[in-house]
Amino acid sequence: METVIEKTNVNVDIEALRKEIIKEENIVFKKTIGLTDNPLSYCPGCGHGVVHRLIGEVCEEMEIIQDVIAIAPVGCSVFAYDFFNLDTQSAAHGRAPAVATGVKRTMPDKYVFTYQGDGDLAAIGTGETIHAANRGENITIIFINNGIYGMTGGQMAPTTLLNMKSSTSPYGREMDVHGYPLNITDMIAPLRGVCYATRQSVHTPANVRKAKAAIKKAFEYQKLKKGLSIVEIMSNCNSGWKMTPVQSNKWMEENMLENFPLGDIKVPQDK
Amino acid sequence: MKGNEAIAEAAIRCGCDAYFGYPITPQSEILEYLALEDPYNKRSGMVVLQAESEIAAINMVYGAAGCGKKAMTSSSSPGISLKQEGLSYIAAGELPCLVVNVSRGGPGLGSIQPGQADYFQSVKGGGHGDYRLIVLAPNTVQEQYDFVDLGFELAFKYRNPVLILSDGAIGQMMEKVVLTPQKDRSVTLPSWATTGKTPDRERNRIFTLNIETDVQENHNRKLQAKYKVVEENEIRYQEFKTDDAEYIIVAYGISSRICMKTIQLAREKGIKLGMFRPITLWPFPKQKLFELSKNVKGIFAVEHSCGQMVEDVELAVKNNTPVKFYGRSGGVIMTPQEVLLFIESEMNK
Ligand SMILES: Cc1ncc(C[n+]2csc(CCOP(=O)(O)OP(=O)(O)O)c2C)c(N)n1
C-alpha cells in the first residue's frame, strides 16, 4: 500500500492505481451483488436507491438471490427490474400484489416481494393490496411512502398530507375536497392474513439500519409461511417536494412522521 | 358434459398449472367445476383461485405465465373488458396464456344470454397498443374441450396470449365429449421464465416498458413479424357444402350451429347454400374466403351482433360478390328459419 501512495505522489499512473485499488485485498466497500451495475435512475438524495440497496444486501446476506422473484411497480421504481440482480417481473400500475400472487401460488418455494410506491399501492392498487393481504399470500410488500406521485411529476397521492402542496393540490390538500391522507398499512395490519406490518424510514443512518432489519425479518417470516408481510418505508421526494435532500429529510421528520409514526404495527404472535 | 365443464376438465387434463377466475354468468361453471374437482389437492396439483376481480385474475395469470407456467382465466363479456389492460401487458411481455370468453349480449351489463358482440374486442385489439391475440372460436362442446390444449400449444409456440371466443350457448349446451388422458404437468420451465436467478445465467426480466422510442418500435416490429408467422401457419376453418354452393353463409360459434339447419332447410327447397366457418377469428381465413367468393352469387355474414365479423368478411371478399349481413343481438338467439327467410328475401332482390 505504501509504495502505491508514494508512487501517486511522485508520478500519477492512474491505470496502475486503478488496478491496485480493485485488488481483492484492497477493497474496503463493495456494492451488494443483489444489485446490478446499472446506474440508478433516481434523483440524487431520494430514498428509493437506499431501499434498493437494503433489499439487495438482505438477499445477498440471506444467500437467497437464486430463490427470489421480485415484482416491480409503475412509478419512479418502474425500472427496478434493471437495478435488482434478481429475476423480476414488471407489473401494470397497482397490480403487483396480484402478479405476486400468481408467482407465489405457482412457485411456492420462492421468496416473492413487490416493491411499490404509495400511488401504486394505495390508490390504483388498493383492491389488489387488500385482497392479497386478506388471503394471507406468503409475499412481502416493500412499500415506499413519499407522499406524492414522483414519477409523473409530483401530483397528489393518497398519502399526501393535509395542506401539503402538490401539482394537483397547488393550494394544499384540502380535507373537504380531497379527503384525508390514507394510512393503508395500519388499515391492513388487523387483517388475519397479515403477519407482519411495520413502518420504517431511511432518513438517518440509524433508521436505515432498522429498515434493513425489518426487511430481513419480513423475508424470514415469508420463509416460515406466516402470511403477508408489509414493510412501509417513509422516504423523501426532494424533487417532488421541491427541496434539497437535506431539507426534505428534515421536513419529513417534522411533518410526515406525525401522520405516519415509525415502528412495528403488527408482529407475528407465536403460538 | 356442459361446454363450460369441458373447458374445466380440459384444463385439468392438459396439465394446466393455474386457473384464476371471478364469477360471472354464463361461465361460472368453469370455476365451480375446478373448485369441486379440487385439482390442487386431488388430481393434478393445479392451482385454482377465485380472485377479487377480473383485473386481479388476469394479473395473477401474468405472474404465473411469467414463471413459464401454463396459466389461464375465463370470464364473460363485462369481465373480459376488465381484462384488456392485462392482455395488452401479456401480449407486450410475450407471455403465453389462455383466456376464455363465454360471451353474452352487450354493451354494458347487457344480457346474460349468448352474444357474439365481442368480436371487435377479440380480434382488433381491445386493450391499448399494436398487439394481437390468437382467437379460436369453438362451435361444439368437443371443440371447447380440444381448444384448451390447442390454445396452450399455440400460446407457448408463439409466446402469445390465446383467446377462446365462445358464447353462452356453446358454454351452456350439453354434448358428448371424447376425453383425452391426463397429461403430466411440465416440470421444465422455459429459459426466459422468472424462476430465480442462478449464478450461471443472466437475470430474467418480464417487462413491457421501453422508454427509448426506437427500442419500442423495434419491439413492435418483432411482434408484427411474429404475428405474420402466425397468419401464415395457423389459419383454421371449416367448409360445409361449399362444393356446389351458389350462396355461402359465413358464421362462427353458435351462429354456425344454427346455420347448419338453415342450410338443410334451404337444400330441401333446392337452394344451393353452403357455409364457411372461420375457426381462427384471428388470423382470419381471408385468402380461402376470397377464393370461395369468386364462384358464388352472394355471401351472408350471420352473427349474434349488430355487424362485426361482417367487416372482415367484406375485406376478404374484396367486392367479388355482394356481402349481406344478418344478425340478432342482446342475447336473442336467431332461428334457422329466420336466417333462411332473410337469405331468400335477399336472393329475390
Ligand atoms: C394505468 C395507469 N395509470 C396511470 C399511469 C401513470 N403513472 C405512472 S407512475 C404514476 C404514479 C406513481 O406514483 P407512486 O406509486 O407514488 O410512486 P413514485 O413515483 O412516487 O415512486 C402514475 C399515475 C400509468 N402508468 N398507468
CA B223 / ligand 1 centre spacing (Å): 26
Candidate CATH numbers 3.40.50.300, 3.40.50.970, 3.50.50.60, 3.90.1150.10; the one for domain B3-195+223-233: 3.40.50.970
Q: How far apart are CA B88 and CA B90, in angstroms?
A: 6
Predicted confidence at residue A12, as pLDDT, reads: 77
Predicted confidence at residue B40, as pLDDT, reads: 86
The residue range of the domain holding A110 is 41-266
Of B20, B56, B196, the CB nearest to A87: B196
Contact B281, B123 (CB under 8 A): yes
* Span B129-134, average pLDDT: 98
The hierarchical CATH code for the domain B238-347 is 3.40.50.920
Does the pLDDT value for residue A7 go beyond 60?
no
Question: For residue A18, which amino acid is it?
Answer: R
CATH code 3.40.50.970 region(s) in chain B: 3-195+223-233
Q: How far apart are CA B194 and CA B211, in angstroms?
A: 22
* Span B142-149, average pLDDT: 98
* Span B232-260, average pLDDT: 98
What are the residue ranges of helices labelled H in chain A? 2-10, 14-21, 47-61, 80-83, 96-106, 118-119, 126-134, 175-178, 184-188, 205-223, 238-241, 245-251, 257-259
Predicted confidence at residue B309, as pLDDT, reads: 98
B172–chain A nearest CA distance, Å: 29
Q: How confident is the model at residue A271 (pLDDT cuts 50, 70, 90)?
A: low
Query: Is A2 inside a domain boundary?
Result: no
Does the pLDDT value for residue A9 go beyond 60?
no
Predicted confidence at residue B42, as pLDDT, reads: 83
Q: Is A119 in the pocket of ligand 1 (CB under 6 A)?
A: yes
Query: Is A10 inside a domain boundary?
Result: no
For chain A, the C-alpha Rg in angstroms (whole number) is 20
CA A152 / ligand 1 centre spacing (Å): 6
- In tens, the pLDDT along A216-232 reads 999 999 999 999 999 99
Q: How far apart are CA A120 and CA A115, in angstroms?
A: 10
Contact B44, B70 (CB under 8 A): no
As given in the structure block, the three cell numbers for residue B187 are 416440470
**What is the average pLDDT value for chain A, to the nearest integer?**
94
As given in the structure block, the three cell numbers for residue A14 are 492512474
Q: How far apart are CA B316 and CA A193, in angstroms?
A: 55
Nearest residue to B243 (alpha-carbon basis) of B195, B275, B265: B275
Please name the residue whose Cα sits nearest to atom 12 of ligand 1: A75
Partners of residue A176 on adjacent β-strands: none
Predicted confidence at residue B159, as pLDDT, reads: 98
Question: How many structural domains comprise chain A?
Answer: 1
- Which range among A11-20, A182-191, B302-311 shows the weakest confidence by mean pLDDT? A11-20
Q: Which percentage of chain B shows pLDDT scores above 90?
A: 95
Does the pLDDT value for residue A143 go beyond 80?
yes
Q: Is A236 in the pocket of ligand 1 (CB under 6 A)?
A: no
Predicted confidence at residue A29, as pLDDT, reads: 86
- Say which residue the cell 392438459 belongs to: B14
- In tens, the pLDDT along B147-184 reads 999 999 999 999 999 999 999 999 999 999 999 999 98
Number of Cβ within a 10 Å radius of residue A250: 14
Predicted confidence at residue A1, as pLDDT, reads: 44
CA distances (Å), origin A88, targets A80, A84, A228, B170: 8, 8, 19, 39
CATH code 3.40.50.920 region(s) in chain B: 238-347
Does the pLDDT value for residue B268 go beyond 70?
yes
Q: Is A157 in the pocket of ligand 1 (CB under 6 A)?
A: yes
Does the pLDDT value for residue A177 go beyond 50?
yes
Q: How confident is the model at residue A17 (pLDDT cuts 50, 70, 90)?
A: confident
Q: What CATH code is carried by the domain that includes residue A86?
A: 3.40.50.970
pTM more than 0.80: yes
Q: How far apart are CA B114 and CA B255, in angstroms?
A: 10
Does the pLDDT value for residue A191 go beyond 70?
yes
Predicted confidence at residue B41, as pLDDT, reads: 80
Predicted confidence at residue A18, as pLDDT, reads: 85
Burial pattern A55-89, b for ≥16 Cβ within 10 A else e, equals bbbbbbebebbebbbbbbbbbbbbbbbbbbbbbbb
Number of Cβ within a 10 Å radius of residue B179: 12
Is B222 an interface residue toward A (CB < 8 Å)?
no
Burial class (CB in 10 A: 0-12, 13-18, 19+), B327: buried
Please name the residue whose Cα sits nearest to atom 24 of ligand 1: A93
* Span B41-59, average pLDDT: 94
Q: How confident is the model at residue A26 (pLDDT cuts 50, 70, 90)?
A: confident
Contact B23, B4 (CB under 8 A): no
Q: How far apart are CA B9 and CA B228, in angstroms?
A: 32
Q: What is the dihedral of CA B203, B206, B207, B210, to 10 degrees?
A: 50
CA B194 / ligand 1 centre spacing (Å): 24
Query: Is A120 inside a domain boundary?
Result: yes
Q: How confident is the model at residue A21 (pLDDT cuts 50, 70, 90)?
A: confident
Predicted confidence at residue A6, as pLDDT, reads: 52
Does the pLDDT value for residue A10 go beyond 70?
no
What are the residue ranges of helices labelled H in B134-274? 141-158, 168-172, 213-233, 253-268
Of B18, B86, B194, the CB nearest to A89: B194
